[in-house]
Amino acid sequence: MPLIDHVNLPVGDLVRSRWFYENVLATLGQRLLLVDGDAVGFGTDAWAFGIVRVPPPITPLHVAFAAPSRDAVDRFFEAATALGAPSLGAPGLRPHYAAHYYAAFVRDPDGHSVEAVCRAPALP
């Protein structure tokens, strides 16, 4: 059983953040599943990640999404930066975290640090 069933991230502008996450999560094989009032849920078949509109101020958090491949990490970074997300670290190996830790980091529209990470070795 996974440790966490789902997590929701606070956002200020639900429309802007929905657009951002619909696009970047698609690169990781995730899709919009449900809109429930001031909340939007993403996943493959069940709500795994959500955004929830809250009043300011919003405390920035960090979330790392599992990527199925290094190419998916690259696509995540390209999609996010094309949407105007500032880079917090281009795609690449981070061996100080783990031997095969390949990740990219961006800042989302609400200031959250968002990462895509693949821990699999490079394909030959």
Region 72-93: mean pLDDT is 98
pTM above 0.85, yes or no: yes
Region 62-75: mean pLDDT is 97
Residue-range domain boundaries for the chain = 7-118
Query: CA 7, CA 39: separation in Å to the nearest integer?
Result: 12
Q: Where are the alpha helices (DSSP H) in the chain?
A: 14-26, 70-82
Residues 6+ apart with CB under 8 A from 10: 51, 52, 53, 54, 58, 59, 61, 110
pLDDT tens column, 93-102: 999 999 999 9
CATH 3.10.180.10, domain 7-118, yes or no: yes
